[in-house]
């Protein structure tokens, strides 16, 4: 949570400093993320499997237009959800884990539009980190881990005026849990140490609003 507050503070500072610059956009995001099946198996005494439930995801981004058809964006996305999972802890057990998923991403966006048109298509990729907190409500244990993350997206901005547009998009986000770096939904209820590869893939549909900030 402290990392999220620091990011939001930095975002606000960037907006304040660059508000009078040419080619700055502020993006607000609102999407629905679908369920994702996850599992990790090392041996019969070290595994988990289940679902990271879908739900509402919100966020914001500050985008600098390097060229009229290309932008670079610093963005933050947040989802609070549940993860009903079976895991091994002196026998097979079940818990409905609480998850807080935070993506901090740097995105590159390529835009496509006709001169004078109201619709602006876009596509791009994202790289960054996923800071996820997990809590086992059964025993109260919790932990937070940071993973490398990447994403892809595409959609369109529909400009209602010269400065305000409606954003529609589809996106895929993935947090890569490499060897030795995953969550262990097992001993103690929530910890680190799963010894196998297990990546999270989240597909979402939604959009939001886009604002062109005043320039010189």
pLDDT band at 202 (very low <50, low <70, confident <90, very high): very high
Res. 128: pLDDT tops 70: yes
Which among 214, 173, 175, 166 is positioned nearest to 29, based on CA atoms?
166
pLDDT of 39 above 70: yes
Using alpha carbons, select from 204, 215, 186, 195 the residue that is nearest to residue 90.
Answer: 186
Q: What percent of the chain has pLDDT over 90?
A: 47
Residue 154 sits at the vertex; the CA angle it makes with 152 and 157, to the nearest 5 degrees, is 140
Kindly tell me if the per-residue pLDDT of 141 is higher than 50: yes
- Residues forming beta bridges with residue 50, ordered by sequence position: 38, 85
How high does pLDDT run on average in the chain? 81
Residue 178 or 73, more confident: 73
Residue 123: pLDDT over 80:
yes
């Amino acid at each position: 949570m402290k990392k999220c507050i620091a990011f939001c503070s930095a975002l606000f500072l960037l907006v304040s400093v660059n508000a009078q610059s040419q080619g700055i956009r502020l993006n607000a995001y609102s999407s629905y993320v679908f369920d994702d099946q996850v599992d990790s198996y090392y041996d019969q005494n070290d595994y988990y499997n289940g679902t990271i439930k879908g739900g509402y995801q919100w966020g914001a981004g500050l985008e600098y237009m390097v060229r009229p058809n290309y932008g670079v964006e610093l963005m933050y996305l947040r989802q609070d959800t549940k993860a009903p999972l079976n895991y091994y802890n002196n026998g097979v057990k079940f818990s409905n884990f609480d998850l807080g998923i935070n993506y901090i991403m740097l995105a590159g966006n390529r835009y496509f539009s006709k001169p004078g048109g109201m619709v602006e298509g876009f596509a791009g990729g994202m790289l960054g980190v996923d800071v996820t907190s997990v809590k086992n409500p059964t025993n109260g244990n919790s932990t937070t881990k940071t993973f490398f993350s990447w994403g892809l997206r595409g959609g369109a901005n529909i400009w209602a005026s010269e400065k305000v547009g409606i954003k529609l998009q589809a996106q895929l986000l993935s947090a890569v849990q490499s060897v030795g770096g995953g969550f262990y939904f097992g001993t103690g209820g929530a910890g680190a140490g799963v010894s196998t590869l297990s990546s999270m893939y989240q597909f979402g549909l939604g959009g939001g609003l886009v604002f062109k900030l005043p320039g010189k």
